[in-house]
C-alpha cells in the first residue's frame, strides 16, 4: 500500500517521474463536458477527503485532480466538528471504518503533527498527508519544487531565501527536506528568533551537506543573490514549539519588516522567483503581483497537475 506521509520519503528519481507526469497533464487541454484526461483504470474509483482543518488550495486541487482523472470524491470538510472526532473518536478508529467503504485513497489534513503517520501505520487504505499541524505538507513541497524547476530550470545549486513563520509553517519544513536532496543548494532561513526553523531541519541539512544559515534581520537577507525567495504567513492559529510565545504587540511589530514590497523585488535578480504557499495575509503587498517573478498563483495552479500525478501513483498506476 502506498502512503504519502512526509517529504523525506521521496527519492530524486521518484520526483523526476512525478514531474514528468505532472508536465504531461499540464500540457493537455481540460474540457468540462467530455473529460479527455480520465484514465480507464481510475474511472469510478473513489477518493475520500478527510479535512479536520481549513483549506482552499489543497482541498480543491485534490478534488479537481480526482475529477480530471475520472475518479469520484467523497468529502468531509471541517471533520473536527462534523465527524465523530467531535465525539472523541480516534484517528485510528475513523480510518479503520472508512477503509471498509471502498476508497482507493484517503487525503487527510489534521491539526495534530503525526496524524497522517498514525493513519498510514494501520496500512488499511492509502493515506496522503495534506498537512499535519506544524509537521509537514509533502504534496505542497512537491508542487513547490515542480514550480522551482519550471522557473529556474534546475533543482541543484540554488540560493534559496525562506522567510516568515518557519517554526510553525509546515510547507517550509517539507520544502527544506526536498531541497536537501539536491547538491549545492544554499538555504537562508529568515525569521525572528521565536519563529526560526527547528533544529531537526538544520540537522537534516547538515547531514546532507547543504549549506544553511539562520538570520533574523530582513536587511541581512541575500536579496541580490537569491534564485528563489519563498515567503510565508504568520501561523497565529498554532502554538509555538517549546512554550515560546509571541504577544499580539510583537506580532504587530514584526509585520512591517516582514512585508514584501516592490522595493524588495527591485533588489532581486531578474531571473529569480518569488513564491508563497498561500494564503497570504498581507505579507506580500498586492503591488508585487504584476512582477513577472511573482509566481505564487502559477505555483498554486501547478498543485492540480502534481496532485493528479500523485493520485495516479498512490493508485498504483506508475
Ligand atoms: C499552507 C498550509 O496549509 O500549510 N497552505 C496551503 O496548503 N497552500 C500554508 C498556510 O496555511 O500558511
pLDDT 10s digits, 205-259 = 999 999 999 999 888 899 999 999 999 999 988 888 877 778 888 888 888 888 9
Q: How much is the pLDDT for 86?
A: 82
How far does the centroid of ligand 1 lie from the alpha carbon of residue 169, in Å? 8
First-to-last alpha carbon distance for the chain, in angstroms, is 13
Q: Which residue among 58, 108, 233, 275 has the greatest number of ligand 1 atoms within 8 angstroms of its CB, and so is best to mutate?
A: 58
Distance of alpha carbon 298 from alpha carbon 295, whole angstroms: 5
Q: How much is the pLDDT for 80?
A: 85
Q: Which of 245, 241, 283, 240 is nearest to 261 (CA)?
A: 283
* Least confident stretch, 24-28, 36-40, 72-76, 134-138: 36-40
Q: Is the confidence at residue 107, as pLDDT, over 70?
A: yes
How far does the centroid of ligand 1 lie from the alpha carbon of residue 231, in Å? 12
Q: How much is the pLDDT for 31?
A: 62
Q: Is the confidence at residue 294, as pLDDT, over 70?
A: yes
- Paired with 49 in beta bridges are 75, 107
Q: If you take atom 8 of ligand 1, which residue's CA is the nearest one?
A: 277
273 and 295 Cβ atoms separated by less than 8 Å:
yes
Q: If you take atom 11 of ligand 1, which residue's CA is the nearest one?
A: 279
Q: How much is the pLDDT for 136?
A: 98
Distance of alpha carbon 15 from alpha carbon 6, whole angstroms: 13
Residue 231, helix vs strand vs coil: strand
- Whole-number average pLDDT of the chain: 94
Q: Which of 302, 272, 27 is nearest to 153 (CA)?
A: 272
Q: Is the confidence at residue 32, as pLDDT, over 60?
A: no
HSE of 190, CA atoms in CB hemisphere, 13 A: 25
**Alpha helix (H) ranges present in the chain?**
12-26, 57-68, 79-82, 91-98, 115-122, 138-152, 170-179, 199-207, 248-257, 262-267, 296-314
**Residue 115 pLDDT grade (very low, low, confident, very high; cuts 50, 70, 90):** very high
Q: Closest ligand 1 atom to the C-alpha of 53?
A: 3
**Residue 57 pLDDT grade (very low, low, confident, very high; cuts 50, 70, 90):** very high
Cell of 244: 515560546
Q: Is the confidence at residue 126, as pLDDT, over 80?
A: yes
- Paired with 76 in beta bridges are 50
Enumerate residues lining ligand 1, CB below 6 A: 57-58, 131, 137, 140, 170-171, 233, 277-278
**Strand pairing category for 159-163 and 186-190:** parallel
Cell of 100: 471498509
How far does the centroid of ligand 1 lie from the alpha carbon of residue 171, in Å? 7
Q: Is the confidence at residue 273, as pLDDT, over 60?
A: yes
pTM for the full predicted model: 0.96
Count of helices and strands (H, E) across the chain: 11, 9
Interaxial angle between packed helices 170-179 and 138-152, expressed in degrees from 0 to 180 and rounded to the nearest 10 = 60
Which residues are known catalytic residues? 57-58, 87, 109, 137
Q: How much is the pLDDT for 34?
A: 66
69 and 104 Cβ atoms separated by less than 8 Å:
no
Distance of alpha carbon 241 from alpha carbon 201, whole angstroms: 14
- Paired with 46 in beta bridges are 72
Q: Is the confidence at residue 77, as pLDDT, over 90?
A: no
Q: Closest ligand 1 atom to the C-alpha of 130?
A: 7
Q: How much is the pLDDT for 33?
A: 58
Helix (H) or strand (E) holding 72: strand 72-76
How far does the centroid of ligand 1 lie from the alpha carbon of residue 168, in Å? 11
How distant, in Å, are the alpha carbons of 7, 37, 55, 177, 198 from that of 10? 6, 25, 24, 10, 21
Amino acid at each position: 500500500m502506498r502512503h504519502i506521509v512526509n517529504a523525506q520519503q521521496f527519492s530524486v528519481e521518484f520526483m523526476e517521474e512525478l514531474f514528468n507526469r505532472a508536465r504531461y497533464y499540464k500540457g493537455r487541454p481540460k474540457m468540462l463536458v467530455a473529460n479527455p484526461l480520465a484514465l480507464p483504470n481510475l474511472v469510478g474509483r473513489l477518493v475520500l477527503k478527510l479535512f479536520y482543518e481549513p483549506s482552499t488550495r489543497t482541498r480543491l486541487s485534490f478534488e479537481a485532480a480526482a475529477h480530471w482523472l475520472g475518479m469520484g470524491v467523497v468529502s468531509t470538510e471541517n471533520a473536527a466538528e462534523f465527524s465523530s472526532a467531535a465525539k472523541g473518536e480516534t484517528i485510528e478508529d475513523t480510518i479503520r471504518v472508512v477503509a471498509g467503504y471502498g476508497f482507493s485513497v484517503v487525503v487527510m489534513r489534521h491539526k495534530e503533527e503525526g496524524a497522517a503517520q498514525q493513519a498510514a501505520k494501520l496500512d488499511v487504505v492509502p493515506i496522503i498527508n495534506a498537512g499535519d499541524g506544524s509537521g509537514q505538507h509533502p504534496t505542497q513541497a512537491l508542487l513547490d519544487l515542480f514550480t522551482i524547476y519550471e522557473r529556474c530550470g534546475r533543482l541543484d545549486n540554488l540560493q534559496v531565501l525562506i522567510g516568515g513563520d518557519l517554526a510553525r509553517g509546515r510547507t517550509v519544513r517539507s520544502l527544506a527536506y526536498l531541497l536537501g536532496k539536491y547538491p549545492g543548494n544554499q538555504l537562508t532561513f529568515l525569521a525572528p528568533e521565536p519563529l526560526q526553523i527547528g533544529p531537526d531541519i538544520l540537522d537534516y541539512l547538515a547531514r546532507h551537506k547543504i549549506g544553511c544559515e539562520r538570520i533574523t534581520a530582513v536587511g541581512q537577507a541575500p536579496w541580490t543573490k537569491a534564485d528563489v525567495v519563498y515567503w510565508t504567513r504568520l501561523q497565529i492559529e498554532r502554538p509555538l514549539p517549546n512554550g515560546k510565545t509571541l504577544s499580539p504587540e510583537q506580532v504587530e511589530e514584526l509585520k512591517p519588516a516582514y512585508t514584501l514590497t516592490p522595493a524588495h523585488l527591485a533588489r532581486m535578480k531578474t531571473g529569480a522567483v518569488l513564491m508563497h504557499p498561500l494564503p497570504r495575509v498581507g505579507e506580500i503587498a498586492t503591488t508585487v503581483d504584476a512582477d513577472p517573478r511573482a509566481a505564487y498563483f502559477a505555483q498554486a495552479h501547478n498543485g492540480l497537475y502534481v496532485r493528479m500525478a500523485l493520485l495516479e501513483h498512490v493508485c498504483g498506476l506508475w
